[in-house]
Amino acid sequence: MSGDGDASGASVRRLADWDAEDLRALAAEFGTPLYVDDLARVRQNYARLAGAFPDAEVLFAVKANAGRHVLRTLAAAGAGAECASAGELARALDAGFDPADVHYTAVNPPAEDLDYACRIAAEHPALTVTAGARDTVERLAERGFAGRFCLRVHPGVGAGHSESVSTGKDAKFGVPAADATAVLADAAERGFDVVGLHAHAGSGITNDQIEEHEAVVSTLADVARETDLALEFVDVGGGFGVPYREDEDALDLERVAARTRAALDGVDATLTVEPGRYLVADAGVLLTEVNTVKRVGDTTIAGADAGMTTLVRPAMYGSYHPIRSLVAEERATENVSVVGPVCESTDVLGEDRDLPAPERGDLLAVGNAGAYGVEMASQYNSRPRPAVVALDGDDAEVVRRRETLADVTLAEDTASDPYP
């Protein structure tokens, strides 16, 4: 059931490359809204990226898609895991990642998260813990941490698909570069095993933002040269973008890799990268059914059973996702806006799309939904979250069941139950 266009592992997989008949069959069998993840495509994306960075350690940014099916696929392929929370750390270890290939890189971690990370680090000394603030270094020391330590640096330069994810210039992330060597020395004096540096430009880096990425890498290289400590690795983050719009080109990954290596010239440390979106975005689609059609002037509104609680990126970031009608017959096209069932004006999956004139019961596919799709789904408006199906060749398996109304109130219904 894999899409026809991914057989060669090409760097771009468009929504049109998915087989419409297969997608209709999945919707008929499993219902909608429905996320579909193609594990063969995940493997292809990983192989391409690992090939561009042959001497690097590749850690999957778990926040992009923490589904067990995705994590197990990437662990088997040879990837490590970058975890931004205690929950992601627990998921990565449960999925079978070797602790030596796992980094915990939380930002301002809550006390319970940090307690958990320190306990796991004590049980698995090969695990690496990253901190991005002097306070976090002190909090680790207060907990008796003496394990592998990486410092996150604030480079002051960012990139990404929107200002909301341009983390490199956000002071929330990392220790100022000018203070980094002092913080590294302090961590070493506290008994930490200082092994690395980390920084991240942002999420969704495009071809015209490679210079910003290179500037971030150069900042890390400068810090690595200034410190007297021997570092095992320099982690330049991920954020490698994918083309969401049909007319966008794929990221020139070879160019990114070459510029990254050039910026690290002379630094005696292993390169680490943390791709998330790049590995899973075009491996997933969201299927949704039209239930209401309304024509207002020159605009047609197609109301669907998926909305901002299913895929929040358009509402949160103004993100563009391609939308394709999967109707089998030929129809004249109209200017269509696809909206969801949530009582918000921002509940829009796509506006002003040239689509076949919609009718009730039509099936729509939303592309590039494999990254930050189901991960950011919510129960706002007390709506159950959607199911997820994993494809692996001709096999299709429900890997996350569709929630019910009972799931929406489960935490309240069990509020008096004792904690484990």
Q: Which residues are the active-site residues?
A: 343
Instruction: Tell me how many helices (H) and strands (E) the chain has.
Output: 13, 18
Residue 234 CB-density burial (10 A; 0-12 exposed, 13-18 middle, 19+ buried) = buried
- Closest to 105 in 3D by CA, of 59, 152, 147: 152
Ligand-binding annotation for 239, yes or no, is yes
Nearest-10 crossing angle of helices 68-77, 39-52: 40
d(CA 395, CA 29) in angstroms, rounded, equals: 13
Proportion of the chain in helix, strand, coil states, percent, rounded to 5: 35, 25, 40
Report the C-alpha gap between 305 and 5 in whole angstroms: 27
Q: What are phi and psi of 348, to 5 degrees?
A: -130, 130
Token pair of 279 as six digits? 């590995």
| Distance of alpha carbon 415 from alpha carbon 177, whole angstroms | 45
Question: Which ranges constitute the DSSP H helices of 170-252?
Answer: 180-189, 210-226
DSSP state of 107: S
Nearest to 373 by CA among 285, 306, 311: 311
**CA nearest neighbour of 215 among 201, 225, 229, 228:** 201
Known binding residue 317? Answer is: yes
**Residue whose structure tokens are 């087989």:** 19
Q: Which amino acid is at 206?
A: T
Answer yes or no: is 277 a known binding residue. Answer: yes
The answer to whether the beta carbons of residues 37 and 389 sit under 8 Å apart is yes
DSSP string of 2-65? Answer: --GGGTT--S---GGGS-HHHHHHHHHHH-SSEEEEEHHHHHHHHHHHHHHSTTSEEEEEGGG-
Angstrom distance (rounded) from CA 309 to CA 322 = 18
Chain centroid, CA 87 distance in Å? 15
Sort strands 323-325 and 233-238 into parallel, antiparallel or unpaired.
unpaired
- Whether residue 11 contacts residue 44, with contact meaning beta carbons closer than 8 Å, is answered with no
Closest to 233 (Cα-Cα) out of 284, 188, 283, 269: 269
Strands 175-176, 233-238: parallel, antiparallel or unpaired by DSSP?
unpaired
Q: Is 275 annotated as a binding residue?
A: yes
383 labeled part of a ligand binding site: no
Binding residues for pyridoxal 5'-phosphate, by number, are: 239, 274-277, 372
Binding residues, by number, are: 239, 274-277, 313, 317, 344, 372
Binding residues for substrate, by number, are: 277, 313, 317, 344, 372
